[in-house]
Amino acid sequence: MHYDLLSVAYVCYLKNDYSYLEQWCKFYNDDNVKGVIANLYFMSKDEMKEELHPDYYRDDVPVVSMFQISTDIVKHFLPQTDLLFSIEGCDYLDVSDLDILYSLGLRSILPVWNNKNKYASGNRGNDGLTKEGRKLIDKAIQLGILIDLSHTNEQSFYDITNYIKQKQQQGFKTYVMASHSNSIYLCHRDRNLTDNQIKAIGQLGGMIGVFSNRNFVVPYEIKEIATLDEKRKIYLQHIKHVISIIGVDHVGVATDDMNFCGSMYKDTAIYEYSTIASSLKQDLEKHFNSLDVFMIMYGNMKDRYDQLKDQINKI
């Protein structure tokens, strides 16, 4: 339900070196992965220079251009895969940009990354949804773009979910999820969700992508000493915990592995890309029946994917 594949593609484009992307796609094709939410993400300019590429974000290159270049590349490398395109961190977008981005295939937005922007605040800030943020939500709902709540702080989270609830009560069709968020009950990181937040997403008909980055799976005090088997067991506990609150129909899986950024994110993946689908399926089958495993790994998100595709024909 979340991987920064568009950012990977754009960095490959800047380097004119697609070897990392080629290997990643080979792993996914060989392991029979059927779909991915491919994400283009933005943070502060200094952080983008450090983590991605010195020219990753430039004021003279519109986000629309970055999006079109990266989506074209990903579609070329994964022609048989269900692709849902997303932008994480709308700092460098205007509300009016959503029209053209929608026409290019955008179907999901995360209004914020960790920082505060003109729309809302991430987990590094304390503010909530702004007036401009409500305009962004309105435009997304109008177009049929999904609102992804991962990275929002609690104030922004509840401002957005309460606003979306009002829109639903007014008869608007809305789509919501937290594409890469785990349980704060099991791992106390401010990026993770409280039980009440999990419940709020479920009440809106949304989904949660439980993601396999060890920093948000394993409690801080044991993350360096836990074995790989122990980390995977805790990851499954996150999935079980979310299901216990909102049901199996509202849960999926995500990766958000950052290994392509280099040594700063070394060894954060719990599942290797070369075998992630088969390894995860094998682990899930120890705890769930075959239908539930299918729905967690593919079916639940495929249902939303089809709804968003259907929305295209109504605009």
- Tens of pLDDT, residue by residue over 198-251, are 999 999 999 999 999 989 999 988 878 899 999 999 999 999 999 999 999 999
- What is the structure's pLDDT at 39? 96
Write out pLDDT tens, residues 88-107: 999 999 999 999 999 999 99
Quick check: 48 and 97 in contact, CB under 8 A?
no
Q: Which CATH architecture has domain 5-312?
A: Alpha-Beta Barrel (3.20)
User: In the chain, where are the structural domains located?
Assistant: 5-312
Cβ neighbours of residue 166 under 8 Å, at least 6 residues apart?
none
pTM of the model: 0.94
Query: Which amino acid type is present at position 307?
Result: Q
Mapped onto helix, strand or coil, the DSSP state of residue 166 is helix
Q: Is the pLDDT of residue 312 over 60?
A: no
Nearest-angstrom CA–CA distance, 106 and 119: 18
- What is the structure's pLDDT at 315? 40
Output DSSP code: residue 176.
E
Q: Is the pLDDT of residue 63 over 80?
A: yes
